[in-house]
């Protein structure tokens, strides 16, 4: 057999050169299949046509000599991650360089699937091009353009847009703030009649209880849950709750969380916490400190400038570190209530968003979820097996089992023992094509150098 573990790649300047290297097997590796918490030691995974063909103990599964093989001795193999609250850019004046760079930043961190949360007609073509391996990028699910108070002002407008977005081929609808209750209800009725899911924010007039009853596919950012524990009188006295209910924290009553969590489970609503949005953009941490983090070298200088301004604007008047700490603690309590009710989580960080760099931001998201005392397996499952279940594609990606897409991360250590090990990556496999750390690092260096110019 031909072993290509560390020496098989002589990198050219062309992205797709590396992606064309096909691997037939990974041998003697410890597999974290994510179909359960089981860890499979000294396994061989055979690949065919970009999928897992067969897997079993290395002592029983033989590999042909002519095959391209990665020796996984001492290494750990887990499914690629899914970013369930991603943002995909569009070309600037016909130049798609930044689009390609963002997609690569995801892949470079082991993100092999993304759910784009602000759709554009361009993304429909991009989704197809990535699927056809015309460029390196994660599998794409894309929302419709924003459904908000300005884009759907009347029930008729909501009905027409839902029908059009279904016809266009978007995977789901993205809900933003400002939608009136009557308009929302028409949108829901039309979407459900067309079997078109909807996810995202919870408009104020809708509220978390009506959102749950309306069967959101996913509620993102924990939007509405904090407000759902505040009395109607307090809400009426202070109709502006600030950033995701921040100013309502003193009036919030955690006793109401259990009922909200139970209703979430009953209605089958999934939750995308995006905790890192609040521990970074909305944190007391100085903007300049965040802007000087190593991962920021992969963002354009104009973007970093905008991020500094956005953070300063968001954490201006009426913002205090003590109240922020209480806000984060209450969000932890929301997450714990949902976990105890067995509500399903989806991993998402809202990137690229203020100081959340695509791919790299999931490092912060995993830590933020762990800080809420969620178990490592629950956190890892939220970014592997759960997204496939969410899309009704269990066994097709997000797990390591026969028939699943060969989207893997090869690691130096076990992430179930320490989530930080998720980032000790030897390389990434994207639909059966191996990208070594050497190749990934070389491409990241090119992105960083381009951003300096």
CATH number for the domain that contains residue 24: 2.30.40.10
Query: Is the distance from CB of 261 to CB of 341 less than 8 angstroms?
Result: yes
- What are residue 357's phi and psi, to 5 degrees? -85, 135
pLDDT at residue number 66: 75
Residue 5 clears pLDDT 70, i.e. is over it: no
pLDDT tens string 190-231 = 999 999 999 999 999 999 999 999 999 999 999 999 999 999
For residues 86 and 53, membership in a common domain is answered with no
Q: Which of 371, 390, 409 is the last residue of a domain?
A: 390
Q: What's the number of domains the chain is made of?
A: 2
For the domain that residue 365 is a member of, what is the CATH number? 3.20.20.140
pLDDT tens string 270-307 = 999 999 999 999 999 999 999 999 999 999 999 999 99
Please provide the average confidence, as pLDDT, over all residues in the chain: 94
Query: Is the distance from CB of 84 to CB of 346 less than 8 angstroms?
Result: yes
Residue 12 binned pLDDT confidence (cut-offs 50, 70, 90): very low
For residues 122 and 16, membership in a common domain is answered with no
For residues 286 and 304, membership in a common domain is answered with yes
* 417: nearest Cα among 35, 55, 39, 36: 39
Q: Which of 343, 359, 390 is the last residue of a domain?
A: 390
pLDDT tens string 437-446 = 999 999 999 9
Burial of 373 (C-beta count, 10 Å sphere; 0-12/13-18/19+):
exposed
Q: Which of 370, 390, 410 is the last residue of a domain?
A: 390
For residues 13 and 152, membership in a common domain is answered with no
Residue 26 binned pLDDT confidence (cut-offs 50, 70, 90): very high
* Mean pLDDT (whole number) for 308-317: 89
For residues 45 and 152, membership in a common domain is answered with no
Helices and strands, number each (H, E), in the chain: 16, 16
For residues 118 and 147, membership in a common domain is answered with yes
For residues 383 and 403, membership in a common domain is answered with no
For residues 67 and 107, membership in a common domain is answered with no
pLDDT at residue number 11: 32
Residue 16 clears pLDDT 70, i.e. is over it: no
* Mean pLDDT (whole number) for 246-258: 96
Residue 56 clears pLDDT 60, i.e. is over it: yes
Distance (Å, whole) CA 300 – CA 308 = 13
Retrieve residue 309's tokens.
């301004």
Residue 19 clears pLDDT 60, i.e. is over it: no
* Mean pLDDT (whole number) for 23-31: 95
For residues 248 and 360, membership in a common domain is answered with yes
For residues 255 and 309, membership in a common domain is answered with yes
Count CB atoms within 10 A of the CB of residue 192: 14
For residues 265 and 136, membership in a common domain is answered with yes
Q: 273 by DSSP, 3-state: which?
A: coil
Retrieve residue 238's tokens.
């202070």
pLDDT at residue number 317: 74
Retrieve residue 154's tokens.
């009347």
Distance (Å, whole) CA 86 – CA 257 = 27
Give the per-residue SS3 of 10-34.
Answer: CCCCCHHHHHCCECCEEEEEEECCC
Query: Is the distance from CB of 16 to CB of 135 less than 8 angstroms?
Result: yes
For residues 331 and 318, membership in a common domain is answered with yes
Question: Which residues form the domain of 419?
Answer: 2-79+398-452
pLDDT at residue number 1: 52
Global confidence as pTM = 0.94
Among left, alpha and beta (phi > 0; psi -120 to 50; other), residue 281 is alpha
**Tokens 């909501």, located at residue:** 158
């Amino acid at each position: 057999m031909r072993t290509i573990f560390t020496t098989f790649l002589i990198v050219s300047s062309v992205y797709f050169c590396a992606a064309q290297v096909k691997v037939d097997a990974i041998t003697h590796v410890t597999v974290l299949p994510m179909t359960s918490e089981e860890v499979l030691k000294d396994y061989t995974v055979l690949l065919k046509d970009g999928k897992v063909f067969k897997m079993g103990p290395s002592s029983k599964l033989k590999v042909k000599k002519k095959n391209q093989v990665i020796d996984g001795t001492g290494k750990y193999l887990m499914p690629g991650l899914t970013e369930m609250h991603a943002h995909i850019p569009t070309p600037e004046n016909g130049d798609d360089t930044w689009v390609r760079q963002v997609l690569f930043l995801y892949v470079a961190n082991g993100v092999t699937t993304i759910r784009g949360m602000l759709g554009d007609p361009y993304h429909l073509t991009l989704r197809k091009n990535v699927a056809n391996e015309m460029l390196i990028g994660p599998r794409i699910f894309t929302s419709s353009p924003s459904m908000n108070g300005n884009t759907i002002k009347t029930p008729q407008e909501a009905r027409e847009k839902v029908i059009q977005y279904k016809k266009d081929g978007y995977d789901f609808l993205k809900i933003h703030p400002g939608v009136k209750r009557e308009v929302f209800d028409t949108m829901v009725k039309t979407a459900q009649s067309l079997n078109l899911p909807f996810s995202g924010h919870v408009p104020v007039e809708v509220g978390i209880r009506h959102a749950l009853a309306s069967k959101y596919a996913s509620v993102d950012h924990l939007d509405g849950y904090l407000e759902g524990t505040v009395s109607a009188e307090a809400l009426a006295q202070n109709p502006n709750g600030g950033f995701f209910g921040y100013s309502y924290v003193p009036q919030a009553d955690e006793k109401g969380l259990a009922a909200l969590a139970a209703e979430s489970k009953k209605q089958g609503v999934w939750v995308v916490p995006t905790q890192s949005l609040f521990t970074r953009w909305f944190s007391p941490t100085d903007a300049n400190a965040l802007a000087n983090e190593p991962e920021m070298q992969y963002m354009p200088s104009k973007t970093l400038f905008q991020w500094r301004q956005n953070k300063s604007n968001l954490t201006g008047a009426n913002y205090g570190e003590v109240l922020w700490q209480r806000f984060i603690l209450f969000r932890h309590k929301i997450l714990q209530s949902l976990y105890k009710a067995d509500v399903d989580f989806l991993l998402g960080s809202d990137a690229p968003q203020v100081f959340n760099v695509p791919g790299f931001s999931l490092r912060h998201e995993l830590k933020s979820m762990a800080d809420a005392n969620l178990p490592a397996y629950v956190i890892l499952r939220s970014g592997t097996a759960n997204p496939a279940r969410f899309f009704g594609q269990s066994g097709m990606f997000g797990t390591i089992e026969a028939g699943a897409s060969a989207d893997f991360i090869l690691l130096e250590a076990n992430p179930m023992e320490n989530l930080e090990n998720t980032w000790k990556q030897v390389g990434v496999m994207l639909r059966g094509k191996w990208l070594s750390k050497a190749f990934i690092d070389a491409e990241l260096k090119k992105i960083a150098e381009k951003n300096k110019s």
